[in-house]
Amino acid sequence: MPISHLSPALVCLLGLAACLPAARAQEPAPAGPAAAAPTALDEPAPAVSPAEATGPSSLAAYVLGPDDQVAIRAVDAAELGKDPVRIDMSGYLRLPMVGRIRAAGLTVEQLQAEIVSRLRQYIKEPDVAVDVTDFRSQPVSVIGAVKNPGVHQLQGRKTLIEILSLAGGLSDDAGYSIKITRSLDRGPIPLPSAAADPSGRFSVAQVSLKDLMEARNPAQNILIQPHDVISVPRADMVYVVGQVSRAGGFVLHENETISALQALSLAGGLDRTASPKNARILRSAGNAASRTEIAINLNKILQGRSPDVPMQPNDILFVPASGSKKVAVRALEAAIQVGTGIAIWRR
């Protein structure tokens, strides 16, 4: 249809429609995801050092000492970060551009601030980070009835329970108390049971293991100091072996006494092949390597015709089978002494 025949209103609408594409072409294109303004979430996360992975409280409280090793990174002083540096036994570090600097006694943040201060004569705004890559200046000795006895590093602030966890936890034959020994140079142990040893150089305290594990007295879970010695004595035990239902070692409670009949009950009673009248108690004879044999007739004790026999810590109640020979007792004694093949039972 010729335009001249169109109504004036329709002509105006057609003109507006023709102008819209041109107007849109002049508008800026909407920004895609790649052009979005960066936010804090888009920035790369800072690298986490092994020391920081132990927890912020550990790193913040850790005081550097001789034989610790640190890694130092500086944005405008790359020579500082070539290799980790170990603090010498005098407590000093020797660094390029910085020179000799005392590190022992400083926290990581304090050492970092000191390095920044010295670098300002060369760099306007030094950007420095310090990480501990090897902890060696805060040893704690854990000995006795733990799974991994030895020297462990504090790596900051750690409680008694945390140190026992570092040592792998308690072994099955652990006793019922923990002994902590600390040099008085670091002050007395903050426990009511703490007392100075006869030399006057150490503070010694006892902690009830049961109270500690059951959280009956949280104040006993004290902070451990470098060079503390934690010892977990082994519990007193009696052994029941031979023809019984549940042979092994039985941990005695603190100050507990036990009889042969009670020990037999803990072991589940006699086996069908047992010869109870030929039972024996093997008892250590002072410091001697051998044991003395005490013959007991469990039949008579069970029938009430003979008094029960009290046992002592580390006694072995041996219930033989019919026809067993004395050599079997000696082999069993040797096995118990080396701790092989003997189950430990706690009650």
Of 50-59, 151-160, 205-214, 299-308, the poorest mean pLDDT is in: 50-59
Helix H or strand E segment including 45: none
Q: How far is CA 41 from CA 44, 124, 286, in A?
A: 8, 29, 72
Q: Using one digit for the tens of pLDDT, what is the confidence trace for 11-46?
A: 333 343 444 344 443 444 444 333 333 333 233 333
Task: For residue 156, name the pLDDT band (cuts at 50, 70, 90).
Answer: confident
Beta 128-134 vs 69-74: how paired, if at all? antiparallel
User: By the 8 A CB rule, do 80 and 72 touch?
Assistant: yes
CA-closest candidate to residue 278, choices 344, 328, 211, 219: 328
Would you mind telling me the total number of residues written for the chain in this entry? 347
- Residues of each domain in the chain carrying CATH 3.10.560.10: 139-232, 237-345
Query: At 248, which helix (H) or strand (E)?
Result: strand 248-251
Contact, 230 vs 224, CB < 8 A? yes
Question: Mind listing the pLDDT tens digit for each residue in 166-218?
Answer: 999 999 899 999 999 999 999 999 999 999 999 999 999 999 998 998 888 99
Q: What pLDDT is attached to residue 345? A: 79
Task: Give the Å distances, CA to CA, from 227 to 147, 182, 222, 319.
Answer: 20, 7, 15, 47
Is the pTM higher than 0.75? no
Where are the CATH 3.30.1950.10 domain residues in the chain? Answer: 50-134
CA gap 66, 83 in Å, rounded: 18
CA distances from 139 to 65, 152, 194, 238 (A): 11, 6, 21, 35
Tell me how many degrees the CA angle 100-60-52 measures, rounded to the nearest 5: 95
User: What's the CATH code, domain 50-134?
Assistant: 3.30.1950.10
Domain 237-345 bears CATH identifier 3.10.560.10: yes
Fold of 139-232: Outer membrane lipoprotein wza fold like (3.10.560)
